[in-house]
Amino acid sequence: MTFDLLSALALFVFITSITPGPNNLMLMASGANYGFARTVPHMLGVTIGFMIMLLLVGLGLIRVFNAFPVIYIILKVLSVIYLLYLAYKIATAGPAQQTAAAGRPMSFLQAAGFQWVNPKAWAFGLSIITIYVPAADFGPLLITACVVALTAFPSVTLWTVMGKEMARFLTNPRRLRVFNWTMAILLVASLLPVLWPAG
């Protein structure tokens, strides 16, 4: 892979990964409710889980989905159900201290598994593979996956830190309710452009 192609890939990944989406909104809510340290497994699950997904899809799993288009419909249904559940959990979360003591942030495996029902992750991954991977060999795919992980991790960290910093303003129950409901609504809304693209 050329330096120009890698640079273009890194720019694409940074711009796409810094924008609001299900992963970033959940990380922000987790940072606010559980703090940075307890959200680290969630952050790593997003980054490494997407990297593994990218490798598997690039190595041939995409052929299975192309052969059986019904899988896309099943993924959409699963993603909507799961995202509505997560939105409900965020909307009804208690005060940050209470949530941190009683609740549990998303684990590494849960966050990694979530990538498979996240429509934005699918759209993002397919775009990367079709545009930036010169050949479906393991070498170029591994380089691409590593560039994606290294470029996306700062944005994952930023969203978690923003949530953690907001926690100090969320000690008021009313502000906390507004924040949690806003995050829940944005989480559901973030799926709309991917599930039902314009045109």
DSSP assignments along 40-101, one per residue: HHHHHHHHHHHHHHHHHIIIIIHHHHHH-THHHHHHHHHHHHHHHHHHHHHHT---HHHHHH
pLDDT of residue 175: 79
pLDDT of residue 197: 56
CA 114 to CA 180: how far, in whole Å?
20
Task: Please check the confidence at residue 43 and state whether its pLDDT lies above 70.
Answer: yes
Q: Are 115 and 22 in contact (CB under 8 A)?
A: no
Question: Positive or negative, the Cα torsion across 119, 62, 154, 102?
Answer: positive
194 band by pLDDT with thresholds 50, 70 and 90: low
Give the pLDDT mean for 159-172. Answer: 84
Give the pLDDT mean for 96-117. Answer: 77
Q: Are 108 and 42 in contact (CB under 8 A)?
A: yes
pLDDT of residue 49: 95
Task: Please check the confidence at residue 18 and state whether its pLDDT lies above 70.
Answer: yes
Higher pLDDT, 197 or 175: 175
Q: What is the pTM of this model?
A: 0.75
Q: How remote is the C-alpha of 65 from its chain's centroid?
A: 21
pLDDT of residue 95: 60
- Report residue 7 as tokens: 């640079």
pLDDT of residue 161: 94
Task: Please check the confidence at residue 40 and state whether its pLDDT lies above 90.
Answer: yes
CA 155 to CA 146: how far, in whole Å?
15
Higher pLDDT, 16 or 192: 16
pLDDT of residue 62: 67
- Report residue 163 as tokens: 């949530």
Distances (CA, A) of 16 to 82, 94, 152, 167, 179: 22, 31, 9, 26, 24
Task: Please check the confidence at residue 172 and state whether its pLDDT lies above 80.
Answer: no
